[in-house]
Chains A and B, each alone.
Chain A
Amino acid sequence: MVENIVEMENIIKNFGLVHAVKTGNFNLRKGEIHSLIGENGAGKSTMMKLLYGMYPIDGGSIKVRGQLLENLTPKIAIENGIGMVHQEFMLVENLTVLENIILGFEPTKGSVIDFDLARKTVTKFIEQYGMNVQLNKKVHQISVGEAQRVEIIKILTRGAEVIILDEPTAVLTPQEADRLFEIMENLKNDGKSIIFISHKLNEVMKVSDRITVMRHGDYMGTVKKEDTSPSELAKMMIGREVFLDLKKEKATPGEVICQVKDLWTSGNKETSKVRGISFDVRAGEIVGLAGIDGNGQSELVEAITGLRKIEKGSVTLDGKDITNLSPKKIRENGMTHIPEDRNLRGLNRQLTIKDNLLASRIDDKKFKHHFLRKDSSILEESNNLIGEFDIRPTDPETLLSSLSGGNAQKIVVAREISTVGNLLVAAQPTRGVDIGAIESIRSIIQEQKKKGIGIILISADLEEIISLSDRIIVIHEGHISGKIDVKDANEENLGLLMMGGKDTSREGLNLEGLNE
């Protein structure tokens, strides 16, 4: 029999009246990568926080190396060789990487910190697992992927044998994610055991040895990777078949709806973040904008939607010049916008569902009589939208702060789709939402296309770009590094273009290249 390093049996965890975990079962063998998957709110993060001692359990047992642990706290968990990399990194921005790693466990020489010894120890880990980090840089100067590696080193130096990674790839680019997977493999070969929390099935299939599925706080089963498939996992996760690979409607593009010409704009910190981008969007087609985060896509979207000043170039919508108009005017001209950051721009968490659903239309005659808001029609329209887009909870007076990611995003989508427009700018429409919501949001976008609306889709998820778009534009450092028809696109050639390289692997590829 294989040794189980962690055994969690019949775990129960309630938060007041909420049953976060009802039947939690999970065991981890030494030297395996074990994925824990489920929709948002399925209880997977809670399970791992229980293992790490962040909350007390209400029932069941946790054994580590056969030994029953009661009244677990993070301190006891660390002493038992359990380490956790949280979704939000716990790093001090103004300290260097090295200082962050040794923080709280500083080796001392007399009364001063022995940085030489610290550096030696840490370097050993870095080399052993092939982690590329710069010890002397301050944390705010390094990338997200690097910060994540720092977190991993941090828990390794504290003697972790069991490493919990809570949705580690949510913040990474595909390339960075691949690098993380390599490191995970190295750790595994060295005998460490890894718990990988995710809801991205393709990643789970790539890295795991075994997979445990949870749904609504219940244990749904543990399977070996060899014995399962993504569609079977998806079925276990949400209890029915899911179709993420929607049958793509053939595009019948009409006239040009939106024209972006030689657009230049600056970022918050850098000037010329977007440097001369031009493209067209026609009615009834989806143009996908791919690129690694921070290469100017966000700024481009802001410039098009009137939230950022355009320094040079122009944007026309339906034949009308909308360059540097106010967001309100641009909306009046028919542009709708799903912003990339739903907590910042997409939603107002302190308002109710109905206010969020109709915020862009408060001045419509339908919802306003002289100065007063028409509460009855506001309520009626909200109830319609809640029903149509299957938003839960269904009470329009609910405050938004109590909603899950998927339902919150549905509100953004509902608001933008219900506004009549001719161009939809959808930035990261499915970021951080569960698989059920991804499915419905994607099919909504497809429907819009069928209605003849032009769509610009910006996504960090290549799979999403490929499965939805008709044409793909890749952006690198503020330039267009390539335009590809979707039938020629795959993750490799897009990935290459995202890194700024030219794709030469395929002949006959339509590479229009840079605009200059």
Chain B
Amino acid sequence: MNNTIEKIVKVLLTIIVSFLVGAIFILIIDENPLDAYTALIEGAFSGKLMFGTTLANFTPLLLTSIAFAIAAKAGAFNVGVEGEIFLGGIAAAYIGINWTFLPAPLLYVACFAGAIIVGAAWAWIPGVLKAYYNVSEVCTTILMNTVAVYLTSYLVNGPMSGGGVNAQSADVAVTLKQFMRPSSANVGIIISIIVSILIIVMYYKTSFGFKLKSVGSNPSFSDCMGIDSKKIFVKAMMLSGAIGGLVGCIEVLGVHGYYLDNFATNLGINGMLAALIVKSNLVMCPPLAFFLAILRTGALRMQQSTGVPKSLVDTITAIFIIFATMDSLFNLDVFKKIKRKKPFDTKLAKGVK
């Protein structure tokens, strides 16, 4: 328990320090940091449109951070969530446009299932390459992201084009209900929250979750215990890909109503950042994703009302990550008593008692 509190305190401290450093930048361009930050927070919460936009931003970030984190639990660094979103999105769009012979409820199911299956299948490739042929999944997923972007771009400009000026598909026949209009918040957020909770429960409470943890922390041990580390690794990648596909489906059905070219640019990467900041701690992913969503939404208002460019938010996020990865930055006195000693000595402490 102590450990969890320590982690939360550390994240909070990191946030404060990042904002302080951000304030220095704001001062350098001759603006008032307090005004800028006030505008930032107001921008994220004031009014239906802004708060709705925050929620709409939160939905994909939540799932992509969970998707990255669950793969990381099994030892995979899945940069490919973004590609999985694109492909999941296009699969959902294809089904939503063309399978109208299905009754509406079934069509929903088909869209989601299609997106999830395509996402999982796409992630299966780097998973197998890594597990059985030792090809770095970081490399393959980055490369495959590009493939996914161009593949979907081709489809939406060519065979699946809606025929308009923009590079987008025709409208899908089923959509997720939106609320807090004119923002694009939609019931996808409920799906996101449910899925996140399911994944967290799965990781902490089920035997499959235990296997993920075991394989991620020591594959040799797992093999010896009869847990096939290679299979589990591939499954973790596929699970991560499935969540990515789900995000694509939610975005297409919920936000746009059609497939828009390049709609997911940076969605996967931002989720990955959120997960990295909390070191892939699944429980901490949701609050962090929400925080990043606030930053993204509020940045626009900040730019409009103060003259601080919205890219400052990117700077703060980057500083955030740098500080978050510095493990020993906030080894305060309270923690030092527990932390300072080397494993050798704590070993004694517990053994002698």
Q: Which residues of B contact A351 (CB under 8 A)?
A: 213-214, 217
A377, CB-defined interface residue at 8 Å? no
Task: Check: B340 CB closer than 8 A to any chain A CB.
Answer: yes
**Known A41-B348, A328-B227, A349-B218; contact A393-B353, beta-carbon cutoff 8 A:** yes
Encode contact with B along A370-395: 1 for CB under 8 Å, 0 otherwise. Answer: 01110000000000000000001100
Residues of B111-138 whose CB lies within 8 A of A? none
CA distance A401 to B273 in the complex (A): 29
Flag whether A448 is at the interface (Cβ < 8 A). no
Contacts of A339 in B (CB 8 A): 224
- A338 closest partner in B (C-beta): B224
Residue of B nearest to A408 (CB): B347
Determine the distance from Cα of A16 to Cα of B344 in the docked complex, in whole angstroms.
12
How far is B343's CA from A338's CA once the two chains are assembled, in angstroms? 24
**Which residues does A use to contact B, with CB under 8 Å?**
15-18, 20, 41, 216, 305, 307, 326-328, 330-332, 337, 339, 344-351, 355, 359-360, 362-363, 367-368, 371-373, 392-393, 398, 401-404, 407
CA–CA, A328 to B221, complex, Å?
12
Interface string of B211-222 (1 = CB under 8 A from A): 101100110111
Give 27 CB contacts A-B under 8 Å.
A15-B345, A15-B348, A15-B349, A16-B337, A16-B349, A18-B349, A18-B352, A326-B228, A327-B223, A327-B228, A328-B228, A344-B218, A344-B221, A345-B220, A347-B221, A348-B217, A349-B218, A360-B226, A362-B207, A363-B207, A368-B207, A371-B208, A372-B207, A393-B350, A398-B350, A403-B347, A404-B347
Asked if B210 lies at the interface with its beta carbon under 8 angstroms from chain A, I say yes
Chain B residues whose C-beta falls within 8 Å of the C-beta of A346 in the assembled complex: 221, 224
Given A18-B345, A362-B207, A371-B208, verify A404-B351 contact (CB < 8 Å): yes
B139 to chain A, nearest CB (A): 24
Instruction: Report yes or no: A348 in contact with B205, Cβ–Cβ below 8 A.
Output: no
Q: Which of B205, B213, B214, B345 contacts A16 (CB 8 A)?
A: B345
A307 CA to B220 CA in the complex, in Å? 9
Which residues of chain B (325-353) have a CB below 8 Å from chain A? Answer: 337, 340-343, 345-353
Smallest CB-CB A-B distances: 6 pairs:
A328-B226, A15-B345, A350-B217, A345-B224, A348-B218, A360-B225
Q: Does B206 sit at the interface, judged by CB under 8 A?
A: yes
Q: Would A326 and B226 count as touching, CB distance under 8 A?
A: yes
Q: Min CB distance, B304 to chain A, in Å?
A: 48
| Interchain CA distance A351-B225 in the complex, whole Å | 14
**Contact between chains at B352 and A345 (CB < 8 Å):** no
| Complex contact A372–B347 (CB within 8 A) | no
Query: Please, how many angstroms separate the alpha-carbon atoms of A403 and B207 in the complex?
Result: 25
Measured CA separation A516–B146 after assembly (Å): 57
Interface residues of B in 179-211 (CB under 8 A from A): 202, 205-208, 210-211
How distant is A15 from chain B, measured CB to nearest CB, in Å? 4
- Chain A residue numbers with a CB within 8 Å of B347 are 41, 402-404
Of all chain B residues, which has the CB nearest A350?
B217
Contact partners of A332 in chain B: CB under 8 A: 226
- Which residue of B has the minimal Cβ distance to A45? B344
Q: Is the CB of A307 within 8 A of B223?
A: yes
Write out the residue numbers on chain B whose beta carbons fall within 8 Å of the beta carbon of A360.
225-226
With A18-B352, A41-B352, A403-B351 already in contact, the answer to whether A371 and B345 are too (CB < 8 A) is: no
- The answer to whether B224 touches A392 (Cβ under 8 A) is no
B261 to A: closest C-beta gap in Å: 39
Q: Is the CB of A371 within 8 A of B206?
A: yes
> Chain A's nearest CB lies how many Å from the CB of B7?
15
- CA distance in complex: A346, B351 (Å): 20
Which partner residue on chain B sits nearest A392 by CB separation? B351
Contact B224 A305 (CB under 8 A): yes
What are the residues of chain A within 8 A of B214 when measuring CB–CB?
Answer: 348, 351, 355, 359
Select from chain B the residue with minimum beta-carbon distance to A349: B218
Contacts beyond the supplied A330-B226, A344-B218, A355-B210: 20 A-B pairs with Cβ under 8 Å? A20-B348, A41-B348, A41-B352, A216-B352, A328-B226, A346-B221, A348-B214, A348-B218, A350-B217, A351-B213, A359-B214, A360-B225, A362-B207, A367-B207, A373-B205, A373-B206, A393-B350, A402-B343, A402-B349, A404-B347
Distance between Cα atoms of A360 and B211 in the complex (Å) = 10
In angstroms, Cα B227 to Cα A326, docked, is 9
By a CB distance below 8 angstroms, the chain A residues around B213 are 351
